Amino acid sequence: MNNPHPSAQQAIVIGGGIVGVCCALYLQRDGHRVTLVDPAAPGDSTAKWSCGQMAVSEVIPLSKPGILMKIPGWLLDQKGPLALRPSALPGILPWFLRFLACARTSKINQIAQDMARLTQHVYDDYAPLLNACPDKTLLGDRPILEVFDSPAGLAHERPHLDLRKQLGFKSEELDGAAIADLEPALAGKFQHGLLFPDWRAVNDTEGFIAALTTSFIAQGGVRVRQAAVKIDHTHDRATGVTLADGTRLPAEQVVVAAGTGARAFFDTLGVNIPLAGIAGYQAVLPQPGVEIRHSVIYADGGFCFAPMTRGLQIGGTLEFAAPGAEPNFKRAEIIMEKARRVLPQLNTQGMQFGVGYRPFLPDTKPVIDRAPRLHNVVMAFGHGQLGLTLGATTGRLVADLVAQRTPAQDLNAFSARRFALIGGAA
């Protein structure tokens, strides 16, 4: 029998989160022998501590108009949905300056268009990966809701809704009766909302990643539970990866999909990319005592109710902190205070807190590109809050780059070189 992938090679993917495992699966589909390297257990990653949404129209960057005026408030109000630790400001100032440069309307529109070219393919790209998993309920079939305290919140979103509509995404306005019909637990609490019919939510963020990892291993993949500490190379090509215990794994292709952990390899890859880890805090209630049917974004509260098989996950607040700073779980406590105001009957017995460090770039677009210095290394990181959404799409694009196929989507907008200074390296 002829080999359908005559050029199949040994590939190593550094990073076993949602982006890494999807890259591994797509490389595997191309016939490569793939080893996935990550020190954590399958599913124990940044995306575990997320709202679990396929947020296909969440293409508007964080740098929305008026963002500059909000920074003093972030410094003063540590209870807000987006906080900035004062101690982090000096170190993150260069990142912020790049971030603010993306606040122009023309730049926001361009970023949204770039991101929409990727998110429009999310479900098609996940389909073959999920079809290979025995559990057919990993991705739910219910849309996502967003609720507001007043008409002002909805009016503030209208320009963004118009842009999303221009890009082909859908939304429907909801009144109090419609919200109550969809979510009886919220009856009488909100009179203004949105329905996103083209969004979906996974049934459990940890379980979703773990199931894809199990599928990868069942199809012959190898997962090594260790940290990669070095990309070995000769001249302009990677030759393998060295693990924390000194073991060297040879490879003909390497993918760096390690989120904020990718920073450890920047010197070797020949890049200087402004990648920041922004903390996102979550609380999980194993027996919440309240039925929430849909994933519900509470816009004015700055968090989301996300029903999962392991309980009700509540979170989404973001915090800028210095690299290596200890988690501030008071942020999660603040979320719970706000959640109890909406649902006083919540049962917090057995509650757990968690934090994930979202890998953000100033323009909130990921890097999907070849490494400038090592031609057989592909970089895939910086997905911010869209790692789960774009995991499979990134995997498909990475497999195209490894195979030297021309991707269906133009990746110039996701080049590492977009951060290069004049006359300098990326």
Sheet of 228-234: strands edge to edge? 228-234, 237-243, 248-250
Q: Given a cut of 90, is residue 295 above it in pLDDT?
A: yes
Distance CA 160, CA 57 (A): 10
Q: Given a cut of 50, is residue 4 above it in pLDDT?
A: no
Mean pLDDT of 278-290: 95
Q: Residue 182: what are its φ and ψ, rounded to 5°?
A: -75, -35
pLDDT of residue 5: 52
pLDDT of residue 301: 87
Q: Given a cut of 90, is residue 369 above it in pLDDT?
A: yes
The per-residue pLDDT for range 209-219, each reduced to its tens digit, is 999 999 999 99
Q: Given a cut of 90, is residue 250 above it in pLDDT?
A: yes
pLDDT of residue 66: 63
- Domains of the chain by residue range: 1-63+105-139+202-274+361-426, 69-104+140-201+275-360
Distance CA 336, CA 364 (A): 27
Contact by Cβ (8 Å): 67, 45:
no
Q: Which residues, 6+ apart, have CB-to-CB distance to 233 below 8 Å?
A: 239, 268, 374
- For the whole model, what pTM was predicted? 0.94
pLDDT of residue 2: 36
The per-residue pLDDT for range 58-114, each reduced to its tens digit, is 999 988 766 666 666 666 666 677 788 888 878 888 888 898 888 888 999 999 999
| Percent of the chain residues topping a pLDDT of 70 | 93
Mean pLDDT of 348-355: 95
Q: Sign of torsion, CA 221 405 414 60?
A: negative
pLDDT of residue 241: 98
1-63+105-139+202-274+361-426 placed in CATH 3.50.50.60 = yes
What are 370's strand-pairing partners?
Answer: 378
Q: Given a cut of 70, is residue 3 above it in pLDDT?
A: no
Q: Given a cut of 80, is residue 192 above it in pLDDT?
A: yes
pLDDT of residue 394: 98
pLDDT of residue 90: 83
Q: Given a cut of 60, is residue 46 above it in pLDDT?
A: yes
Distance CA 193, CA 394 (A): 31
Mean pLDDT (the chain, rounded): 92
C-alpha neighbours within 13 Å on the C-beta side of residue 320? 24
Report the amino acid identity of residue 345: Q
> Residue 317 — pLDDT band, cuts 50, 70, 90?
confident
Mean pLDDT of 337-346: 95
Report the amino acid identity of residue 306: A
pLDDT of residue 64: 73
Please give the CATH superfamily to which domain 69-104+140-201+275-360 belongs.
Answer: D-Amino Acid Oxidase, subunit A, domain 2 (3.30.9.10)
Distance CA 125, CA 390 (A): 9
| Percent of the chain residues topping a pLDDT of 90 | 78
Contact by Cβ (8 Å): 4, 238:
no
pLDDT of residue 284: 97
Q: Read off the tokens for 395.
A: 């995997």
Report the amino acid identity of residue 271: V
